[in-house]
Amino acid sequence: MKLSEQSKGRLKGKVALVTGAARGVGFATAQGFCHEGATVLMTDINSEQGEAAAAQIGARFMSLDVAQEADWQRCAALIAEDYGRLDILVNNAAILRSSDILQESLQQWREVMAVNADSVFLAIHYLLPIITASGAGSIINMSSSSALMGMPHFCAYTAAKAAVRNLTMSTAVLCKQQGSGVRCNSVHPDGINTKMAREIAADMPADVIAGYQRTAPFICQPEDVANTLLFLASDESRHINGAAICLDNTATIHPPYL
């Protein structure tokens, strides 16, 4: 991740939780938060990789299956007991699979919805009271450009990410009505240069891949997303609430396959 030589302490004194933090955007985000002075709790279902990643940047790791309610109850209890506060929640964990409405099975649909959408509900349901009690805070939900346009080859994924966007808006309005000082925003990247994205490309139809290659879509790096999340986590964005932040180089207004 591209960092300034010296931390500006933009998150000094804040406690942050980042899900799906063992690699990709989650790791880059946790690294940036640590660099800016936050106490960071990283979670992932991959314990071995997560432990190594946390040790690398001076964070703490907790094994967590974001689709399991019991895991979120355990996480909330740990945060309340060990930190007594939570200022930043980044719901980043997700799975990606290429499948259209005719190919998708109900079981596969439910798996994607559980990890990509149910997880965000569970995280906010159990952790918003702790953030509210801390006086203020920032919830950042990782959505996708696909939540804002039609992408037939990602049936369940797009639906889940659209659910994340709408849950973000509902949460943001609730927090404003309560006067809690908590903000909730969603981030909508297009293609990100991560291992997960590269893995899924191998399963996509050749004509779709060719279409993306012809139009040379914008592929951002994990640190590009992480830097945006850092801004949303900091007090610099204290008047941004309920927004859908696009990191897509016009993809949502000019889809790359058109």
Enumerate residues 6+ apart whose C-beta is below 8 A from 74: none
For residue 45, tell me if it sits in a domain. Answer: yes
The confidence band for 1, taking pLDDT boundaries of 50, 70 and 90, is very low
Is 157 catalytic? The answer is yes
Query: How many domains would you assign to the chain?
Result: 1
The confidence band for 113, taking pLDDT boundaries of 50, 70 and 90, is very high
pLDDT in tens, 166-194: 999 999 999 999 999 999 999 999 876 65
Is residue 155 within 8 A of residue 108, CB to CB? The reply is no
Measured torsion, CA atoms of residues 108, 166, 143, 116, in degrees rounded to the nearest 10 = -30
For residue 48, tell me if it sits in a domain. Answer: yes
**CA-CA distance, 180 to 143, in Å (whole number)?**
24
For residue 126, tell me if it sits in a domain. Answer: yes
**CATH classification at residue 109:** 3.40.50.720
**Which of the 8 DSSP states describes residue 19?**
S
For residue 109, tell me if it sits in a domain. Answer: yes
Q: Which of 10-14, 127-131, 239-243, 251-255 has the lowest mean pLDDT?
A: 251-255
Tell me, what's the pLDDT at 87? 98
For residue 31, tell me if it sits in a domain. Answer: yes
Residues of the domain holding 100: 15-247
Cα-Cα-Cα-Cα dihedral sign, residues 65, 70, 75, 76: positive
